Structure 1
Amino acid sequence: MPTARNNHYTPNNMIEFITGILASKTPSEAVIDLHGVGFLLSISAGTFDTIGQPGEEVTLLTRLIHREDTMELYGFATELERKIFDLLLSASGIGAKMAIKILAGMSAPELVAAISARDYKMLTSIPGLGRKRAEKLCVELEAKMGDLAVSAVPVGGAPSADAIAALEALGFSRVEAARVIREISVELKDASVDKLIRAALNILNK
């Protein structure tokens, strides 16, 4: 079971998930009505965008946090987001509120890519996450990302996947290649593999 250092938080998986009617939601909280009992969960902006509208049935994966004299329930739309939340809690100086704030700052796949590639510019765009803390976060979590660094990065269609594979063959990491291809694909829609590779190399070789 993961633990959070220096902040008296203890993650608990006693409640694995909650399925019920979404009573209300904001970008930071959701209330799920389960047989007349309203469960308040802290959520990220990504989960807010994913879970649907009030009145609909939803399922959220959960993490129950014990903090001194209180308990807090956190909800996640995906297992990836919950795993990253647990990893963030394992970093020194990161509590549950800061972890969910980090997840609110960018999507789970983007966060995995940023930490794996040590993209400090991207990480420090999150409010409250300065350069020193971002560097420390990367040092502590980069090795723990494991397969998340590969599975979390969407590769898009066939041209994007082929371009990423080609960049890997040239010695670039999959995470770094996928991040650049994803950025390029926003502007170069329907671009060929060759065009994607050339554009990516112009960025990666700077």
Structure 2
Amino acid sequence: MIGRLRGLLVEKAPPDVLIEIGGVGYEVQMPMTSFYQLPETGQEATIYTHFVVREDAQLLFGFADKFERTLFRELIKANGVGPKLALTILSGMSAPQLMHSVTIEDVTALVKLPGVGKKTAERLVVELKDRFAKLEQLNTMLPTGDIDVSAPAAPQIVEDDARSEAHSALTALGYKPAQASKMLDAIYQPELSSEALIREALRSAAS
């Protein structure tokens, strides 16, 4: 089991990153809430990981802290929720927001996430409410507030490239191409970086 990586951040192409450790590059998929907290490329990064082995692939999923990784692991235990959908859920909601939505049985907030229909949202509430309550009682990993998504944006790139990259990231997270375009149309500003566009599009979708 690969539980943590620390090395040089070589590439950032949301939601994927490439981290080089001892001459080996590790491809890692991250929820956007964690992706926003990464340093710039060329700097050292430390991420907590969850390793998934399938017949056709070996996948690494990365997180900014142990708590978000714990929620990811709880999500993929839920019936009908695989790693990709779990990644999408944690991209559309911060860890505390997800816990709050499940705790108060806010199905309406959950169904706003791509790939989460009413039945899936209701199943998440039923299966995760007690588990989340136990996590909160332990209070060993629970952050004191919302995950900070106000980290400085990456250096601005050509605006068409920024929009294109944001669109690709949204579709990778489960949004349909037309839906991703509509989300970006609603918040687009030419001075925003791709990461800022993704962040604002996800915020808008969740509101």
Say yes or no: does 1:85 pair with 2:72.
yes
The residue type equivalent to 1:27 in the other structure is P
- Which of 106, 128, 133 aligns to 2:93? It is 106
The CA deviation at 1:145 is: 0.9
**1:27 corresponds to:** 14
* Structure 1: distance between partners of 2:15 and 2:145: 28
Give the fraction of aligned pairs with identical amino acids, expressed as a percent: 36
- Which of 6, 11, 34 aligns to 1:47? It is 34
The CA deviation at 1:139 is: 0.2
Structure 1 stretches of 4+ moved >6 Å? none
* Structure 1: distance between partners of 2:81 and 2:65: 21
The CA deviation at 1:26 is: 2.6
Higher relative contact order at CA 8 Å, sep ≥6: structure 1 or structure 2? Answer: 2
- Structure 1, unmatched stretches of 5+, are 1-13, 157-206
The CA deviation at 1:69 is: 2.8
**2:47 corresponds to:** 60
- Structure 2, unmatched stretches of 5+, are 147-207
The CA deviation at 1:146 is: 2.7
1:149-170 Cα shifts (integer Å, max 9, x gaps): 46547469xxxxxxxxxxxxxx
Q: In 2 relative to 1, CA 155–107 (structure 1 residues): closer, same or farther, beyond 3 Å? A: closer
The residue type equivalent to 2:52 in the other structure is I
* Structure 1: distance between partners of 2:65 and 2:21: 20
1:14-59 Cα shifts (integer Å, max 9, x gaps): 1110000101113311110112211000101011111111011010
- Which of 105, 124, 144 aligns to 1:118? It is 105
Q: In 2 relative to 1, CA 112–153 (structure 1 residues): closer, same or farther, beyond 3 Å? A: farther
The size of the alignment, in residue pairs, is 143
Q: How does the TM-score come out when normalised to structure 1?
A: 0.65
The residue type equivalent to 1:43 in the other structure is M
Asked whether the 8 Å contact 1:31–1:38 carries over to 2, the reply is: yes
Asked whether the 8 Å contact 1:87–1:141 carries over to 2, the reply is: yes
* Structure 2: distance between partners of 1:19 and 1:77: 12
* Structure 2: distance between partners of 1:64 and 1:154: 27
Q: How does the TM-score come out when normalised to structure 2?
A: 0.65
Q: Higher Cα Rg: structure 1 or 2?
A: 1
Say yes or no: does 1:36 pair with 2:23.
yes
Q: CA RMSD in A?
A: 1.7
The CA deviation at 1:110 is: 0.7
* Structure 2: distance between partners of 1:91 and 1:27: 25
Q: In 2 relative to 1, CA 37–69 (structure 1 residues): closer, same or farther, beyond 3 Å? A: same
The CA deviation at 1:136 is: 0.7
